[in-house]
A and B are shown apart, each in its own frame.
Chain A
Amino acid sequence: MDFPLLTLIVFLPLLGAAAVALLGNARASAGRAVAAFVAVVDLGLVAWLAARFDVAGGMQFAEIAEWVPQAGITYYLAIDGMSLAMVALSALLTLLAIVASWKTDRNPALWFSMLLLLEVGMNGVFVAMDFVLFYVFWELVLVPMYFLIATWGGPRRQYAAVKFFLYTLFGSVFMLVGIIALYLQTGTFGILEMAGAGLDPSFQWWVFAAFFLGFAVKVPVFPLHTWLPDAHVEAPTAASVLLAGVLLKMGSYGFLRISLPILPDAAAEWSTFIAALAAVSIVYGAAVAFAQTDMKKLVAYSSISHMGFVMLGIASMTPEGLNGAVAVMFSHGVVTGMLFFLVGMVYDRTHTRMIAEVSGLSSKVPVAAGLMAFASFASLGLPGLSGFVGEFLSLVGAWGSDIPAGWVIVSVVGVLLAAAYMLWLVQRVVLGTPSDAVARIDDLGAREIAVLVPLVALTLIVGVYWDSLLRFTDPAVRAILVTMGGA
């Protein structure tokens, strides 16, 4: 531990947020420049870390300091391949969110400082290896997201923001009880120290239930998903991107980092139940997405469906399944981020998100239309694009596991549904004759294209060259399976 790189990656945005807030609305253009600079530096630090990252090295860049020695609470940051993928996603999407919302004119100081504060929590969750620290970051995320939705959201923003906060808080307080129970059993708050501790199976079952509430609300797993459509529809574009792109992953990351390694017996007992909920989420999300008349709602429900594949992969508890889960998490962040950005860009021009009022984009705005089609194909899991990698691996893993085949078959139906609703969306929005709303709009500007290009590139790279992502995630998920005593 020579240089506190992870601390810098986590807390640099906090300094940025303070600077932006102090600059205030009077010097907002300086403030947003600071915000973008901080986000660029943060992403650069993540890239630097990735370059020095030893793929086979397990947990690295560890920083441990005493925090509450009486109870064994430590300031413990460390990163493995799985965390690295998530932190990279968080740093990248934050930067893109800042660039995409460059023109925010209502209270810009608050806007950019909240985006950076959100990044602190998101980065922190994925590298905190102490339960109390993890919980601090977990809750920290709620506050800026509340303000992002409640200040810049749609007409029902207050309701959606509070609903988001209370739902997540409801889940996380039970997680806190689970953390307390684990501490009393093991005498430590260290996440990694608890892994493979061999706790009593019936005790594990109850703690798993407590964590399940916390994580499943966040993912979200049907039937705990009802906050998500409200939050997404009301949230401003950049907040939607980060909500879908990173915040949902915190839940599935929790399952992978905490529930599986620490509570392996309970995880095995719960796996069929989780697989069933995953399959229901996949089909339910897809079916409801079908019925949507609002593009943003469609993307929101498709998220529930995609996160179902993550849960299916996790429930399989096989190397393929877990790799698939992490791959879907990454890919969904990239692709859904792209879709939300595009929907936002179209909305900025047409002032409507209604599918019926937006059609024929391809003849008026070919760049936007092409990217929309590209993102839709990636979302439906076209081979060669990133969406396929994870869904394929998840299904392979689930098929080869103890999960009843019926649930896997139901999930495959979900893949078909996804193809159907995304293609139908492309047909209605991208193709056809231009509607009135589309008739006089301009195509994407350079800044908007700059936001989308990195996402397109990642979609292609991961989709074609799977190893670019899996070489990071595979050792990490295998380490998880080893602590579980299987595989």
Chain B
Amino acid sequence: MSEFLLLAPEIIVLAGALFALFADRVTHRPSAPAHIGAPLAAVAAAVALVIGTRGGILGGMIALDSVSLFSRVAIALLLAVWLRWVSGRGTGPERPAEAVAFAMLSAVGGMLMVSARDLIVFYISLELSTMPAYILMGHRRADARGLEGALKYFLLSMLTSLVMLYGLSFAYGISGSTSYADLGRLDGGVLGQLAVAFVLVGLFAKLSAAPFHYWTPDAYAGAPASSVAYVSTVPKVAGTVALVQLVAAFGANGATVTGVLVAGSLLSMAIGNLAAYPQTDLRRLMAYSGVAHSGYILLAVAAGGAGGHAAVFYAVAYAVPSMALMLLGAEEGTALDDLGGLAARRPAIAWSAVAWLLSLVGIPPMVGFFGKLLMFTAAVEGGLLWLVLVAVAMSVVSAGYYFRVLRVLFFGERLDAGTVTGKPAVAIAFGALTVATYALGVFASGVMEVFGLRF
């Protein structure tokens, strides 16, 4: 029993989700679930921090190492910020309580996934984190495009999940165990390599890494921006951690894994950055930019060594400004032109957006720079200098489209602009994300030391 207490953060968030589902029995305020959920998620993060790292528990199916700890806290805090924003602005007229509940359930899945040391736990928590995401993406029932996007997401995601499950069955067949620790026993034969490749297919799709990124732009473009803000960020953190841990576990098939990761990285960086260029909808733009950032993450994972920890750090470095931008899209409208002249209407938010955008480009002192510094250092050390050169060239390309957003914010005009009234909850959410964008960068060393991440 006491070992279950180590899962208190997940249990707290789960309790919040269950409350959200039945909140209308208690109160008629539609924002109540988010109001309750945000502090609960923050408490969950604090509890996770107190629990710290532990070795294998529950028969070795769960382990809390420094990466799990860091990502658990990060997921809970991102959820808290997202819920704080939702408590001020809501997710739209349809079933707001359910949206909150599903986001929290998805976070529970993510928090379990990063601690999983067993393929069964991994797969179940993966499904727990993605199933609610399908619903979040399509929860506007009347919106045909949204439903189409969500269906596309559902079908592609299920397909790749099943491919991955097929791969996991090979792994079990060869090693005779579902523990991560025994994955190293996969031989380098055809079946072992297929198992590895199938698992990577599933993870690539979760990370929306090329060539399994096709669902992303359509699904994002059809979905409510507030849902995209969640689905494009939090699951990516969990997915990156799972990728890092599984790749570390695939001992004997290292060469195959590295080859696949390098190819995926190159494709993702190229497709993501180039396809983001012509986009006129913030959601599509961020979808492709997300593909590109997955490419950088795959680069670090492929490098091995300190690259794994760097990749996890970068996943958070990506999630923070990305969530902020999508939440801004949810407030102001998602066509790029909707953001026109924001600097005149909401100067504080516009200048925060400068930090978010430049962080995504990788300009210091924002967190994106330190994430890239860590990843590229690990990658050069791992002998992937040529891919790092591609990556830095691609960051310059990405600056091109991030600057299009920036230009609209400051030099665009929007004639029909209403005034979006500021709300404390919204200000708190944006403020927290902006502070994190700077602080995680300037104090990267302290943060990584607290969590015991390798530099």
Which of A138-146, A288-296, A315-323, A408-416 lies on the face that meets chain B? Answer: A138-146
Binary per-residue interface labels of chain B (397-412) against chain A in the complex, 1 for a CB within 8 Å, 0 otherwise: 0011001000100110
Given A165-B403, A184-B381: A173 touches B363 (CB 8 Å cut-off):
no
Complex partner residue of B364 from A140, A166, A170, A177, CB under 8 angstroms: A140
Could you name 11 residue pairs across A and B whose Cβ atoms are closer than 8 Å? A67-B445, A68-B455, A140-B364, A143-B358, A143-B363, A169-B361, A173-B392, A173-B396, A176-B392, A180-B377, A181-B380
CB of A135 within 8 A of chain B?
yes
Nearest to B392 among chain A residues (CB) is A173
Q: Which of A70, A162, A176, A184 is the one whose CB lies under 8 Å from B403? A: A162
| A100 lies within 8 A of chain B by Cβ | no
**Which of B358, B369, B380 has a CB less than 8 Å from the CB of A177?**
B380
Q: Given that A136-B365, A173-B395, A177-B389 are known contacts, is A151 also in contact with B377, CB under 8 Å in the complex?
A: no
Q: Which residues of chain A come closer than 8 Å to B365, judged between CB atoms?
A: 136, 140
Q: Is the contact region of chain A dominated by helix, strand, or loop, or is it mixed? A: helix
Contacting pair A70 B363 (CB below 8 A): no
Q: Does residue A158 face the partner (Cβ distance < 8 Å to B)?
A: yes
B230 CB-CB contact with A under 8 Å: no
**Shortest distance from the beta carbon of B352 to any chain A beta carbon, whole Å:** 13
Shortest beta-carbon distance from A124 to chain B in Å: 11
Tell whether, in the assembled complex, residue B396 and residue A184 are in contact, meaning their CB atoms are under 8 Å apart.
Answer: no
Question: Contact at A158–B380, with CB atoms within 8 Å?
Answer: no
Cβ–Cβ contact B407 & A169, under 8 A: no
Q: Besides the contacts A68-B455, A174-B392, A176-B373, what 18 more A-B pairs have beta carbons closer than 8 Å?
A: A70-B445, A70-B448, A70-B455, A71-B445, A132-B364, A135-B364, A136-B364, A136-B365, A151-B411, A166-B400, A169-B396, A170-B396, A173-B393, A177-B376, A177-B385, A177-B392, A180-B380, A184-B381
Q: Is the CB of A150 within 8 A of B410?
A: yes
Closest B residue to A68 by beta carbon equals: B445
Q: Could you tell me if A150 and B445 are in contact, using CB atoms closer than 8 angstroms?
A: no
Chain A window 213-251, contacts with chain B (Cβ cutoff 8 Å), 1 for yes, 0 for no: 000000000000000000000000000000000000000
What separation, in Å, do the CA atoms of A177 and B373 have in the docked complex? 9
Q: Mark A144-186, 1 if CB is under 8 A from B, else 0.
A: 0001001100000010001001100110011011001101100
Whole-angstrom CA separation of A389 from B403 in the bound complex = 42
A274 CB within 8 Å of chain B: no
The interface residues of chain A lying within 8 Å CB-to-CB of B361 are 169
Distance A224 CA – B410 CA, assembled complex (angstroms): 29
Q: For the complex, what is the distance from the CA of A67 to the CA of B449, rounded to whole Å?
A: 12
**B450 CB → nearest A CB, Å:** 12
Contacts of A150 in B (CB 8 A): 407, 410-411
CA distance A181 to B377 in the complex (A): 8
Contact with A along B305-345 (1 / 0, CB 8 A): 00000000000000000000000000000000000000000
User: Which residues of chain A are within 8 angstroms of B380 by Cβ–Cβ distance?
Assistant: 177, 180-181, 184
Closest partner residue, chain A, to B380 (CB atom): A180
Separation of A183 and B377 alpha carbons in the complex (Å)? 8
- Of B361, B373, B444, B448, most A-chain CB atoms within 10 Å: B373
- List of A residues within 8 angstroms of B369 by Cβ: 136, 139
Binding site for B on A (CB under 8 A): 67-71, 73, 132, 135-136, 139-140, 142-143, 147, 150-151, 158, 162, 165-166, 169-170, 173-174, 176-177, 180-181, 183-184
B221 to chain A minimum Cβ distance, whole angstroms, is 26
Whether B257 sits at the interface, judged by CB under 8 Å, is: no
In the bound assembly, the distance between CA atoms of A304 and B369 in angstroms comes to: 31
B396–A158 touching, CB < 8 Å: no
Supposing A139-B364, A142-B363 touch, asked if A165 and B399 sit within 8 A by C-beta, the answer is yes
Q: Is the CB of B377 within 8 A of A184?
A: yes
B residues with a Cβ closer than 8 A to A are 354, 358, 361-365, 369, 373, 376-377, 380-381, 385, 388-389, 392-393, 395-396, 399-400, 403, 407, 410-411, 444-445, 448-449, 455
Nearest neighbor of B448 in chain A, beta-carbon distance: A70
CA A70 to CA B396, docked complex, whole Å: 28
Instruction: Summarize B's interface: helix, strand, loop or mixed.
Output: helix
Determine which of A136, A140, A158, A169 lies in contact with B411 in the assembled complex, contact meaning CB atoms within 8 Å.
A158
CA of A128 to CA of B396, assembled, Å: 24
Residues of chain A lying within 8 A (CB to CB) of residue B455: 68, 70-71
Pick from B362, B363, B410: contact of A151, CB below 8 A. Answer: B410
Please determine whether A132 and B373 come into contact, CB atoms closer than 8 angstroms. yes
| Residue of B358, B399, B410, B449 touching A166 (CB-CB under 8 A) | B399
A67 to B445, CA, bound (A): 7
* A68–B444 touching, CB < 8 Å: yes
| B445–A169 CB distance below 8 A | no
- Give every chain B residue within 8 A of A140 (Cβ-Cβ): 364-365
Give Cα A142–Cα B411 distance, bound, in whole angstroms: 18
- Give the distance in Å from the alpha carbon of A68 to the alpha carbon of B373 in the complex: 12
Q: A139-B364, A166-B399, A177-B376 are in contact. Are A158 and B407 (CB under 8 A)?
A: yes
Which residue of chain B has the shortest Cβ distance to A210 in the bound complex? B389
Q: Which B residue sits closest to A181, measured CB to CB?
A: B380
Q: Which residues on B sit within 8 Å (CB–CB) of A166?
A: 396, 399-400, 403
Q: Give the 3 A-B residue pairs with the shortest CB-CB distance, closest first.
A: A70-B455, A68-B445, A173-B392
How far does the alpha carbon of A170 sit from the alpha carbon of B377 in the complex, in Å?
A: 18
Query: In the docked arrangement, what's the CA distance between A139 and B363, Å?
Result: 6
B445 in contact with A73 (CB, 8 Å): yes
Question: Closest residue of chain B to A135, judged by CB?
Answer: B364
* A122 shortest CB reach to chain B, Å: 16
Chain B residues with CB under 8 Å of A177's CB are: 376, 380, 385, 388-389, 392
The smallest beta-carbon distance between B172 and chain A, in angstroms, is 38
Interface-central residue, A143, A173, A177, by most chain B CB under 10 Å? A173
Q: Given the complex of chains A and B, what is the CA–CA distance between A169 and B361 in angstroms? A: 10
Check A176–B381 contact: CB distance below 8 A.
Answer: no
A132 to B380, CA, bound (A): 17
Q: Which residues of chain A come closer than 8 Å to B362, judged between CB atoms?
A: 173
Residues on B with C-beta less than 8 A from A170 are 393, 396
Which chain B residues border A71 with CB–CB below 8 Å?
A: 377, 445, 455
For B377, what are the chain A residues with a Cβ–Cβ distance below 8 Å? 71, 180, 183-184
Contacts of A70 in B (CB 8 A): 445, 448-449, 455
Bound-state CA distance A69–B354 (Å) is: 29
Which single member of B385, B392, B400 contacts A162 (CB below 8 Å)? B400
Contacts of B376 in A (CB 8 A): 176-177, 180
- Residues of B near A132 (CB, < 8 A) are 364, 373
> What's the minimum C-beta distance from A239 to chain B, rounded to whole angstroms?
16
Complex Cα spacing A158 to B362, Å: 21
CB-defined contacts of B389 to chain A, threshold 8 Å: 174, 177
- CB-CB < 8 A to B381: which residues of A? 184
Chain B residues with Cβ under 8 A from A67's Cβ? 445
Please indicate which of the listed interface residues B380, B389, B396, B449 has the most CB atoms of chain A within 10 Å of its own CB.
Answer: B396
Interface centre among A68, A70, A143, by most B CB within 10 Å? A68
* Residues of A contacting B354 in the complex (Cβ-Cβ under 8 angstroms): 143
Q: Bound complex: CA of A336 vs CA of B9, how far in Å?
A: 63
CB neighbours (8 Å) of A143 from chain B are 354, 358, 363
A415 to chain B, nearest CB (A): 36
Q: Which of A68, A69, A162, A180 contacts B407 (CB 8 A)?
A: A162
